[in-house]
Amino acid sequence: MRNFSAIIFLLNTLCLSQSSFAQAGESGFDPTIKMKGLIHSRLEVSLTDSVDVQNKFSAEPISSNFRIRRLELRSDIKLTNKFSGVIRIQLPALKTTSTNTGNVIELGYLEYKVRNEFQIRFGQFKIPYELDELTSHEDLRMVDRGTTSVLMVNNFQASYQPGLMLFGNLLKDKTPLNYYLAVVNGGNRALAYDDNAQKNLIGRLEFFPVKGFRIGAGGQIVALTDATGNSYGVDLQVIQNVSTKTKLIVEGEYIQAINLADYAADTTALKDIADFNLSGYFGQVLFKIDIDKSWCKTFEAGGKYENTDPRTAVDANSFSTITGNIGFTFLPDNTARLQFNIVHTSWDTPISGTIDAGNMFVTQFQLKI
């Protein structure tokens, strides 16, 4: 009932903005389409015996692998100053035959801007949740997003979802405050239809007390047919110039969500969804140094620590990662970027025998067109 009321609220809000839609013609019809492309090509090497390139135990591990991590095409469509849209296609991995529409079409939404304070997005979009996921893959601090982010995506509480979102920017000229309110399926986006009638509700606020300093907080109601769980998180971002040529980026987050996979797999007659919480926290630092040479525009160096607990109710279930990163940007705006990462993973419980730690080397080249 709570989800239904929230959906009605969003629909009423849309109806109230109807008069603003009528004014769209005043903005002038001037359609434009901008096409973009991106490729991530990488090499992964396991530096630990009996641990493969997916960081899993194997008696006969595949210790090295070349692959295309991401290959995408994007169209940014602008019809008027108020109406716009985005279509982004993620081509299937070259080593698979998957052509599932929900995974191939990552972004596909329409957007209407009433004013800066009130905007509407409808379609499949990135939901406003989890700091790593909200960071563009074109500008990730490390090569990959974190382990907590991956776990949340696999449990349909982050990344791309079909739905409706209201968002805007308040107090723009003073201390900006961004708000986001979304209702989404909260299920496997690869399915043509949702697997239940319930919908996830997501809210997020971002406050900028001073320039380059952002505090974020969000919550999500995770609705299932037979239960409702709650997720919440807080995050911090600082981006400052520490010298004329050096930029410092500091970010951190704590988040708690629901392990839906474990909940669905549990056949206990009476089970409490609160016993299936997952959690994670991370902190990362990155220096970007403008060297502006003919062979390299920017040099970067940094590191990240993250702890992930797939089930907080289960003892000795968590694991942590320490990542070291150096990178080189050869063209402006990360158009050509090369990164090198060393990733150390420690498991509270050995993944096999005495193996409770592993090391990986990952290098990735990014090219934008």
pLDDT digits (tens, 9 = 90+) for 327-366: 999 999 999 999 999 999 999 999 998 899 999 999 999 9
Q: What is the mean pLDDT of the chain?
A: 91
Task: Over range 11-24, report the average pLDDT.
Answer: 51
For residues 41 and 337, what is the distance between their CA atoms, to the nearest angstrom?
11
32-68 residue pLDDT tens = 999 999 999 999 999 999 999 999 999 999 999 999 9
The kind and range of the H/E element at 104 are: helix 101-104
Percent of the chain topping pLDDT 90: 78
Beta bridge partners of 343: 323, 360
Other C-beta atoms closer than 10 Å to the C-beta of 223 total: 17
> How high is the pLDDT of residue 117?
94
Which range among 7-16, 189-198, 275-284 shows the weakest confidence by mean pLDDT?
Answer: 7-16
Which one, of 356, 359, 275, lies nearest residue 319 by Cα?
356
Cβ neighbors of 179 (< 8 A, separation 6 or more) are 167, 168, 170, 203, 204, 205, 206
CA distances from 89 to 86, 107, 114, 165, 357 (A): 10, 7, 27, 21, 36
Task: Over range 223-232, report the average pLDDT.
Answer: 94
For residues 98 and 103, what is the distance between their CA atoms, to the nearest angstrom?
9
> How high is the pLDDT of residue 98?
58
Contact call for residues 108 and 100 (beta carbons, < 8 A): no
Q: Is 185 helix (H, G, I), strand (E, B) or coil?
A: coil
For residues 297 and 33, what is the distance between their CA atoms, to the nearest angstrom?
29
120-154 residue pLDDT tens = 999 999 999 999 999 999 999 999 999 999 999 99
For residues 310 and 323, what is the distance between their CA atoms, to the nearest angstrom?
20
The total of structural domains in the chain comes to 1
Q: Residue 189 belongs to what domain range?
A: 2-368
Which CATH number fits the domain that encloses residue 254?
Answer: 2.40.160.10
